[in-house]
Amino acid sequence: MYIFGQPVLRKVAEDIPTDYPNLQELIDNMFETLRQAEGVGLAAPQVGLPIRVVVIDLDCISDDEPQFKGFLRAYINGHIVETSEEMSAFEEGCLSIPGIHENVKRPARVHVQYLDRDLQPHDEWVEGFEARVIQHEFDHLEGKMFVDHLSPLRKQMIKKKLLAMTKGKFSCSYKAKPNH
């Protein structure tokens, strides 16, 4: 897992060709990394690859949210093409920013286009928690992170923690690649 401060996390990720080498293996490995880190979403830049691949596992919260039973999806070459004006706020964290959780305002609904794991195209509106996770992960594909959505005051309040992360001073329960 690449941690805040790694340059790959600030790059705009590239679309990949449908014959990208070992794509299915990459998706499997990303799901495994996600499970080990106990997260709900993971974008390829977080594992050091500046490409537009995201995996989302909402099945892990299906005990509390039964509508997400079996929700394991890959998003290849995903793009948000439109957002609703209605906003919602929710506390977010990020595997690449361990130990920091903040309320983030995001559009309540998003129109997304992507290829699924079987390279089938999708063009759909999603809402609620699914929309939030997609926006968070697709932000990584644009070189953005959830802390970029915070007010200047909130950014100032976590500045020291973020700076410490860039110097390798953080702790997390999963394998991480600090900046050195």
On whether residue 112 sits in a domain, the answer given is yes
pTM: 0.95
CA separation for the pair 101, 28 (Å, rounded):
27
Give the range of the structural domain holding residue 78, as residue numbers without chain letter.
Answer: 7-166
Percentage of residues in the chain with pLDDT exceeding 70? 99
Classify residue 162 by burial, with Cβ atoms within 10 Å: 0-12, 13-18, 19+. middle
On whether residue 180 sits in a domain, the answer given is no
Confidence of residue 19 (pLDDT cuts 50, 70, 90): very high
On whether residue 175 sits in a domain, the answer given is no
CA separation for the pair 139, 148 (Å, rounded):
10
> What are the tens digits of pLDDT across the range 26-77?
999 999 999 999 999 999 999 999 999 999 999 999 999 999 999 999 999 9
Please say if the pLDDT value at position 180 is more than 70. Answer: no
Count up the domains in the chain and report the number: 1
Out of 92, 102, 130, 137, which one is annotated catalytic?
137
> What are the tens digits of pLDDT across the range 99-128?
999 999 999 999 999 999 999 999 999 999
* 137 belongs to the catalytic site: yes
On whether residue 132 sits in a domain, the answer given is yes
Contact between residue 147 and residue 134 where contact means Cβ atoms under 8 Å apart:
no
